[in-house]
């Protein structure tokens, strides 16, 4: 027995009344591949847009095991104690590709889940990272319209998901561990460059000394990067998500960042740039999916691939034929 989905109007009204049930149901429409649901989702998003944009969006990344969910639990609880409403979304392309998920099983963030002012939604599934990212962006709009003022978007430090999350957040936090060997080995340069703050987690017990050393090393490395367009100098911090230490200091840094970038106009500028980026992305993905869905393209593509195999054409000539199909 499945309950009928409520109307667009009642879902929209529910979201604006900060009803989490309505919010969840509307997100399910966003995630659905059914055409009817997509049309309903579009109407809901449009209805939410005038009420969105009032949050701060924080991206959190780090390798599996670094302590992301433990951190979000502590950080989220602190924010709630300060009167914030916190939504936690995840971008986890592994859940789509392998069927399993690196993030997002139900037992994570056990305490935060119980808070009435917290909303936790695991990653949408999708064939591509682009698809997952689009759904997450639309979900952000709904969460904002539902009154959530801090949106935490978590992703794993593998693949391209950090770039996607960076392009939909205002502040990017990289969680790291102090470990054996060279701290700076094995992190992709691009990710460090995106970070507005590097937080060394598990700075507790026997780990504390190594964590302090790692902090110095990261600080030195950060100084080698050119100054950021935001006018913000990234900060390296220590914390123990498990023992709830250093969390308030991180919130202070995040708050300082928002003061800085709202003051100098970068906040508004970056959001506009992100919207332009997503406009282009949306066009690209729509053109691409429409192109490949065209039955004559499907037939001709097979032919042209075969022709290339047999050295009977060039990639450029083949592309020309395919792109000119109606």
Q: Which residues bind ligand GDP (CB under 6 A)?
A: 62, 64-70, 201-202, 204, 240-242
Q: At 295, is the secondary structure helix, strand, or coil?
A: helix
Place of tokens 């939909």: 168
CB of 140 vs ligand GDP, minimal distance in Å? 21
Which residue of this chain has its Cβ atom nearest to ligand GDP in the complex?
67
From first CA to last CA, the distance across the chain in angstroms is 44
Closest distance between ligand GDP and the C-beta of residue 154, in Å?
8
Place of tokens 């979304």: 89
Q: Which is nearer to ligand GDP, 68 or 135 (CB)?
A: 68
Closest contact distance (angstroms) between CB of 94 and ligand GDP is: 12
Minimum Å gap between C-beta 236 and ligand GDP is 16
- The smaller minimum CB distance to ligand GDP, of residues 68 and 137, is found at 68
**Minimum distance, C-beta of residue 170 to ligand GDP, in the bound complex (Å):** 22
Q: Please give the C-alpha separations between residue 318 and each of 96, 285, 289, 326, in angstroms, as whole numbers.
A: 32, 21, 19, 15
Judged by CB, which is closer to ligand GDP: 187, or 242?
242
Yes or no: say if 147 and 18 are a contact pair by the CB < 8 Å rule.
yes
Cβ closer to ligand GDP: 240 or 304? 240
Q: Which is nearer to ligand GDP, 9 or 110 (CB)?
A: 110
| Kind and range of the H or E run holding 219 | helix 208-223
Give the HSE-up count for residue 107: Cα atoms under 13 Å, Cβ half-sphere: 2
For residues 203 and 240, the answer to whether their CB atoms sit within 8 Å is yes
């Amino acid at each position: 027995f499945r309950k009928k989905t409520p109307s667009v109007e009642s879902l929209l009204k529910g979201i604006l009344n900060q009803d989490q049930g309505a919010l969840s149901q509307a997100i399910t429409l966003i995630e659905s591949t059914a055409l009817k649901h997509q049309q309903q989702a579009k109407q809901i998003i449009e209805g939410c847009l005038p009420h969105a944009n009032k949050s701060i969006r924080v991206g959190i990344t780090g390798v599996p095991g670094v302590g992301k969910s433990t951190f979000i639990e502590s950080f989220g609880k602190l924010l709630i104690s300060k009167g914030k409403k916190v939504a936690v979304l995840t971008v986890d392309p592994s859940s789509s590709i392998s069927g399993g998920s690196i993030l997002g099983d139900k037992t994570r963030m056990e305490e935060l889940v119980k808070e009435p002012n917290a909303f936790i939604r695991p990653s949408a599934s999708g064939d591509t990272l682009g698809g997952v990212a689009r759904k997450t962006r639309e979900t952000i709009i709904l969460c904002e319209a539902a009154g959530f003022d801090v949106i935490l978007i978590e992703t794993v430090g593998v693949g391209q998901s950090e770039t996607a999350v960076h392009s939909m957040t205002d502040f990017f936090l990289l969680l790291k561990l102090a470990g054996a060997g060279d701290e700076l080995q094995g992190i992709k340069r691009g990710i460090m460059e995106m970070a507005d703050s590097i937080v060394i987690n598990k700075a507790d017990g026997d780990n504390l000394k190594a964590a302090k050393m790692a902090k110095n090393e990261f600080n030195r490395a950060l100084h080698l990067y050119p100054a950021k367009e935001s006018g913000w100098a990234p900060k390296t911090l220590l914390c123990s998500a498990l023992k709830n230490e250093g969390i308030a200091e991180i919130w202070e840094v995040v708050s300082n960042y928002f003061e800085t970038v709202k003051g100098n106009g970068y906040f508004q500028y970056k959001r506009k740039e992100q919207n332009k980026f997503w406009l282009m992305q949306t066009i690209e993905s729509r053109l691409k999916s429409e192109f490949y869905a065209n039955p004559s393209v499907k037939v001709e593509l097979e032919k042209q691939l075969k022709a290339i195999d047999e050295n009977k054409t060039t990639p450029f000539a083949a592309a020309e034929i395919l792109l000119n199909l109606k």
